[in-house]
Amino acid sequence: MSKNKLTELAYRVTQLKETEPPFSYHGFDESTGIYKCVCCENPLFNSKTKYESGSGWPSFYEPHKSSSIETESDNSHGMIRTEVHCKDCGAHLGHVFEDGPLPSGLRYCINGVALRFERS
């Protein structure tokens, strides 16, 4: 992904696997729609699965489709986590944790700058 197609922060997050500061992204509202990859427009999460986790990052309890994302082990920063990235372009999105609400019990903790919201 070209640097000039993304903001500097979106580039660092999606391409260099950085993390935006918590509580820094406020580009979401309560509209119904789909959250897409900012790099390739792949549909990632449905607004119906978004919830307030208190973590400081947009959180979802399941992806739009299981085929929308991929995960892999992330042992950086002295932690063992599961990284989430876009299946179509490989952009780093965030991490998934096993402390979310039902029905999945998962919390997809996603960087807001990695997403583009499309109202339906």
Residue-wise pLDDT for 56-81, tens only, equals 999 999 999 999 999 999 998 888 99
| pLDDT tens-digit readout, 79-111 | 899 999 999 999 999 999 999 999 999 999 999
CA of residue 16 relative to chain centroid, distance: 14
Please state, in angstroms and rounded to a whole number, the distance separating the CA atoms of residues 115 and 6: 11
**CATH number belonging to domain 3-119:** 2.170.150.20
Return the domain boundaries, the chain.
3-119
pTM given for the model: 0.92
Spell out where 1-120 has E strands: 33-37, 43-46, 50-51, 59-60, 69-74, 81-86, 92-97, 107-110, 115-119
Task: Just list the catalytic residues.
Answer: 109
